Amino acid sequence: MKYFIASLVAAVALSLSASAADVSTKITDSHVCCGSCVKAVAKIIATVPGVTGAADQDSSTISLTGPDTATVQKATDALVASGFYGKSSNPDIKISADTGAKGEKVKSLKIEGVHICCGHCVKDINEALNAVPGVTGNDAAKGAKSFTVTGDFTDKDVMDALQKAGLTGKVAKG
């Protein structure tokens, strides 16, 4: 009888732990171009208790796992706030596309919060922005907290181009 009760308790404990499975997502098409990007992602993930994950430079993905949807969402939001963007494999984990762009025609646009750790990041920003009709230049630089795009273009087109390249940021106020 003692073994039966112990077996029953063990079975219940296993079934409870199986029903409380971790939540995961893979963020694809993200800008993870170098070891510094990988390290930045690891540092951001480490700020969210309960979340584990890693960036894979070769596949341009970021994998996240946590105890529940809210915790994984918090880590995802932290990555987006730090300038990383992509598509979530988990429909319950949303990637915010809110950049503050209003679809307005502008001649200058200051953008902040884009992850720019190296020359390759700058190169990818330049390539993304060169594809936007009306953009004539930008002053993005390695390590910059913000940069300005110039020309005669729509603010939303610029932000959409950055997000397509796996990066994101916010239109600076003022």
Write down the pLDDT at residue 20. Answer: 57
SS3 content of the chain, % helix, strand, coil (to 5): 35, 25, 40
Cα 159 vs. chain centroid, distance in angstroms?
14
Contact 157, 133 (CB under 8 A): yes
Write down the pLDDT at residue 5. Answer: 44
Contact 146, 138 (CB under 8 A): no
Write down the pLDDT at residue 3. Answer: 45
Write down the pLDDT at residue 57. Answer: 96
Q: In whole angstroms, how far apart are CA 53 and each of 24, 35, 149, 165, 173?
A: 9, 15, 33, 21, 33
The DSSP element (H or E) to which 107 belongs, if any, is: strand 105-112
Per-residue tens of pLDDT for the chain, all 174 residues:
554 443 433 434 444 443 458 999 999 999 999 999 999 999 999 999 999 999 999 999 999 999 999 999 999 999 999 999 999 999 999 999 999 999 999 999 999 999 999 999 999 999 999 999 999 999 999 999 999 999 999 999 999 999 999 999 999 986
Write down the pLDDT at residue 165. Answer: 97
Hey, what domains does the chain have and what are their CATH numbers? 21-88 (3.30.70.100), 105-171 (3.30.70.100)
Write down the pLDDT at residue 4. Answer: 42
Cα 80 vs. chain centroid, distance in angstroms?
4
Write down the pLDDT at residue 114. Answer: 97
